[in-house]
Amino acid sequence: MRASVAAVAVGVLVACSLAGCSSPTEVGDLSWGDCGSDVPAPADATVSHACGELVVPRDWARPDDGRTFTLRLLRVRSSEQHDRIGSLLINPGGPGGSGIDIAAGVSSGQSFASEELLERFDVIGLDLRGTGRSEPITCITDAQLDRESALVADPIERVDVDARLALQKEIAADCAKTYGEDLKLFSTRQIARDLDALRAALGEAKLSYLGVSYGTYLGAVYAQLFPDNVRAMVLDGAIDPTVGYGTVAAQESQVRGYEHAFDEFAAWCERSDCPLSPDPRTQVTAILEQAGTSPAAATDGREATPSVVLSAIAGGLRAPQWQAMAEALDDVRDGDPSAVFQWADVIAERDTTGHYGPFYRAQRATLCADTGDRPSPERVLEIQREWRGRHPLSGGVLAMGLLACASWPAPADTAPATPPTGLPPTLVIGSRHDPATPYADTAKLAAFLGDGNVVTWEGQGHVALGRSLCVTEVANAYLTDLTLPEKGLVCAADE
């Protein structure tokens, strides 16, 4: 954001425990300014962008200690707006995704939120604390992220396990030096209070919210803290709030999702013009083994390790762009890793200069702040063996991800998940074959929220909004008119 954007002074802040206070958060007025070159101009001449700043307490449990975060946000408004409802806050998940960037894409069709929503709402994209333009996490270096990518993805030898442990301890020590116990302040519970401060600053009595992926978990936490402050909530790509985010159970749920999605890809590959047929699973397993023993080198010297190849597979399953993914895997088998690195670098937000965006740094900070379920390295190795047997493609690799928080130097900021009372009906959307947020969690989130209405999309890829016209129309109808679909609505994959 540019300096011309005025910071917002926080007024009377609620001094109460994060555990149980649901009273409104009082803040000063939001000030808006020109975005300058920081945000691309809208493609539609009838749409305008305004950038703002909101100052919030660094720790909502101690709002009067004088320490703050400055949060940046974007407002997207149409001059053709009519029958205005108010503001709609959208969150792209992650955690670590930029709300500003996803809101900037609304008017050009580059967002999960449809352009039609601008007819009734100002669309608001907020970069959460520690992400994007809102004081992003800085304690993890580009070199450390490159080293992490080069590690043995599913190590068997103890020397490779120790190398991963050493890097995680190094990162933890660097973050402790930079932030100390403030690392716990990047939790979803703190972020949810930021959302309520923003709601109040926008002058909205009730929150209208559209969240995908991790944004569904953020929505569920907000609903627990502020059920009376919700007008409408649409959640796509559910995370089960009773399991939490970043726990062992949550990680295995995601492993199951990726294995199922890969089976769907493999079935498609067998019946299509796919370079990995016949028997795609066996061929991909061989490609991963080759990447472990003799990885193909890119022109910049990086090697396409199994971690890189699996990142490309994850990207292809989430997109979903199966043909392009299959061709990239075929290329790396033949010694050309360029397409695999393109996939992996997009997932990691790594640019051509070797600089990583804030996504993974913010994701790790919130992941570790949200979970007290931090198994010891010895237990992680047991889980690795168990998951490798149950989920042969990605189980061992994602088990190693549990080490990211094993040495984290700050306590978690958690509370038992308690179903909200007084919450209005919500809309919970699930994609039948979602790799990252498995469909089974859709009904669990809906049940937790009490009156969650489930909409199922029979398609592939991560989240349905922006992919299914049927789902988009249902979501828009609920957000604008509070009209709920018929119970158990199923949208076909080709809609």
Q: Are 478 and 232 in contact (CB under 8 A)?
A: yes
The mean per-residue pLDDT over the stretch 421-450 comes to 97
| Local structure of 179: helix, strand or coil | helix
Closest-CA residue to 182 (of 409, 493, 423): 409
Q: Residue 215 CB: number of other CB atoms within 10 A?
A: 29
Tokens of 89: 């806050």
Cis peptide upstream of residue 278 (ω within 30 degrees of 0): yes
pLDDT at 12: 31
Strand-pair partners of 53: 31, 72
Active-site option among 213, 307, 311, 407: 213
pLDDT at 411: 93
Does position 97 have pLDDT exceeding 90, yes or no?
yes
What is the spatial distance between Cα 381 and Cα 365, in angstroms, rounded to a whole number? 23
What is the spatial distance between Cα 427 and Cα 17, in angstroms, rounded to a whole number? 29
Q: Are 107 and 115 in contact (CB under 8 A)?
A: yes
| C-alpha separations of 86 from 123, 219, 228 in Å | 9, 18, 17
- In this prediction the pTM is 0.93
The string of pLDDT tens digits covering residues 368-401 is 999 999 999 999 999 999 999 999 999 999 999 9
Does position 280 have pLDDT exceeding 70, yes or no?
yes
What is the spatial distance between Cα 10 and Cα 71, in angstroms, rounded to a whole number? 12
pLDDT band at 214 (very low <50, low <70, confident <90, very high): very high
pLDDT at 398: 93
Q: Is 213 a catalytic residue?
A: yes
Radius of gyration of the chain (CA): 22
Does position 6 have pLDDT exceeding 60, yes or no?
no
Does position 29 have pLDDT exceeding 90, yes or no?
no
Strand-pair partners of 56: 69
Q: Are 133 and 100 in contact (CB under 8 A)?
A: yes
Does position 437 have pLDDT exceeding 70, yes or no?
yes
What top-level class would CATH report for the domain 1-136+187-242+417-495?
Answer: alpha beta
What is the spatial distance between Cα 67 and Cα 185, in angstroms, rounded to a whole number? 12
pLDDT at 451: 87
pLDDT band at 43 (very low <50, low <70, confident <90, very high): confident
Per DSSP, the residues of 204-215 read: -SSEEEEEETHH
The string of pLDDT tens digits covering residues 126-138 is 999 999 999 999 9
Give the single-character DSSP code of 229: G
pLDDT band at 16 (very low <50, low <70, confident <90, very high): very low
Does position 176 have pLDDT exceeding 50, yes or no?
yes
Name the maximum alpha-carbon separation found in the chain: 65
Does position 20 have pLDDT exceeding 70, yes or no?
no
Active-site option among 370, 433, 462, 468: 462
pLDDT band at 489 (very low <50, low <70, confident <90, very high): very high
pLDDT band at 494 (very low <50, low <70, confident <90, very high): confident
What is the spatial distance between Cα 435 and Cα 236, in angstroms, rounded to a whole number? 13
Does position 286 have pLDDT exceeding 50, yes or no?
yes
The position carrying tokens 């890969």 is 262
Question: Residues with Cβ < 8 Å from 147, sequence gap 6 or more?
Answer: 167
Question: Residues with Cβ < 8 Å from 72, sequence gap 6 or more?
Answer: 1, 5, 51, 52, 53, 100, 126, 127, 132, 133, 134
Task: Classify strands 207-212 and 121-126 as parallel, antiparallel or unpaired.
Answer: unpaired
| Average pLDDT score, the chain | 92
Does position 114 have pLDDT exceeding 50, yes or no?
yes
The string of pLDDT tens digits covering residues 51-76 is 999 999 999 999 999 999 999 999 99
Phi and psi, residue 398, nearest 5° = -70, -25
Question: Residues with Cβ < 8 Å from 168, sequence gap 6 or more?
Answer: 403, 404, 406, 407
Tokens of 237: 């790509």
Q: Is 462 a catalytic residue?
A: yes
The string of pLDDT tens digits covering residues 134-164 is 999 999 999 999 999 999 999 999 999 999 9
pLDDT at 108: 83
Burial class (CB in 10 A: 0-12, 13-18, 19+), 337: buried
| Local structure of 488: helix, strand or coil | coil
Report the amino acid identity of residue 181: E
Closest-CA residue to 340 (of 350, 332, 348): 332
Q: Is 160 a catalytic residue?
A: no
What is the spatial distance between Cα 312 and Cα 315, in angstroms, rounded to a whole number? 5
Does position 47 have pLDDT exceeding 70, yes or no?
yes
Q: C-alpha angle 174/436/373, rounded to 5°?
A: 50
Q: Are 414 and 217 in contact (CB under 8 A)?
A: no
Q: What are the sequence ranges of the domains in the chain?
A: 1-136+187-242+417-495, 139-181+244-412
pLDDT at 30: 85
The position carrying tokens 């971690």 is 307
Active-site option among 433, 434, 441, 468: 434
Per DSSP, the residues of 428-470 read: EEEEEE-SSS-THHHHHHHHHHSSEEEEEEEEESS-STTT-HH
pLDDT at 18: 39
| C-alpha separations of 269 from 266, 273, 443 in Å | 5, 7, 30
pLDDT at 495: 53
pLDDT higher at 24 or 73: 73
Q: Are 311 and 347 in contact (CB under 8 A)?
A: yes
The string of pLDDT tens digits covering residues 317-330 is 999 999 999 999 99
The string of pLDDT tens digits covering residues 339-349 is 999 999 999 99
Does position 25 have pLDDT exceeding 80, yes or no?
no
pLDDT at 39: 92
What is the spatial distance between Cα 9 and Cα 22, in angstroms, rounded to a whole number? 22
